[in-house]
Amino acid sequence: MSILKKLVTAIRGGAREVGESIVDANALRILEQEIVDQENAIAKAKDSLTDVMADQSKTARQINALKERVAEHEGFASQALEKGDEALALEVAEKIAEYENEIADLQPVLDNYKASVISLKDQIKKAEKSIQEHRRELSVVKTTESVQKARVSVNSSLSSGVSKSTAARESLNRIKDRQQRMEDKIKASEELNAENTDQALKDRLAAAGIGDTKSKANDILARLKNK
């Protein structure tokens, strides 16, 4: 395969992927519109079905009317025969034949209407069942997508929260370290100040028993005994 053909194939593949991504991005809207179109088609089919059923009823009425005429004219023919008027009976019989021929012509039409009605009802029922299944599938897909979006949002929030919490703890530890260092510096400064005062020297002399001018109870008792 030449380089040019490879490039054309790659471009076609890229175009297909772009087309599929566009379709996927609008999949839910497309599915919803397809369901609406299917429902509209069923509504039209039902309207057509009512027309066929109306024609069926009309044809059935025509056949019933012709049968009534046949029965009526058979009575006329019998009466004519009873009176010995075969010519009149034959004329009536010819009329009966016309009616029966019309019935014979209309009966296949009626049968066809009946078969069409049964078929159309079955097709409409299957189409409605299919739409219900599509609606359930669409509902599941939409719910799943909503749940997944919520999970992504929660995970993102948790990740962000963990990151923020970690940063906050690190910041708190740094503050504690600074405070402890400041406390150590304050104590060191106090110790230095104490070493540079007379009190520090006096404390060290007193600890050594030097320069203490305060009276001691034992010294006083010893002095009294000597007197």
Beta carbons of 214 and 202 less than 8 angstroms apart:
no
pLDDT, residue 196, reads: 63
pLDDT, residue 75, reads: 93
Beta carbons of 79 and 133 less than 8 angstroms apart:
no
CA distance 193 to 81: 155
Structure tokens at 58: 């009309």
Indicate the domain borders of the chain: 3-27+55-194
pLDDT, residue 176, reads: 82
pLDDT, residue 5, reads: 58
Q: Is 66 exposed, middle or buried (0-12, 13-18, 19+ CB in 10 A)?
A: buried
89's CB contacts (< 8 A; 6+ apart) are 77, 78, 80, 81
206's CB contacts (< 8 A; 6+ apart) are 212
Scanning the structure block, which residue is given the tokens 């100040």?
A: 193
pTM of the complete model: 0.54
73's CB contacts (< 8 A; 6+ apart) are 92, 95, 96, 99
Scanning the structure block, which residue is given the tokens 């030097």?
A: 210
Distances from the Cα of 22 to the Cα of 11, 29, 165, angstroms: 16, 12, 39
What residues of the chain score a pLDDT lower than 50?
7
State the first-to-last Cα distance of the chain, in angstroms, to the nearest integer.
135
CA distance 66 to 148: 69
CA distance 127 to 38: 8
Phi, then psi, of 185 in degrees rounded to 5: -65, -40
pLDDT, residue 40, reads: 92
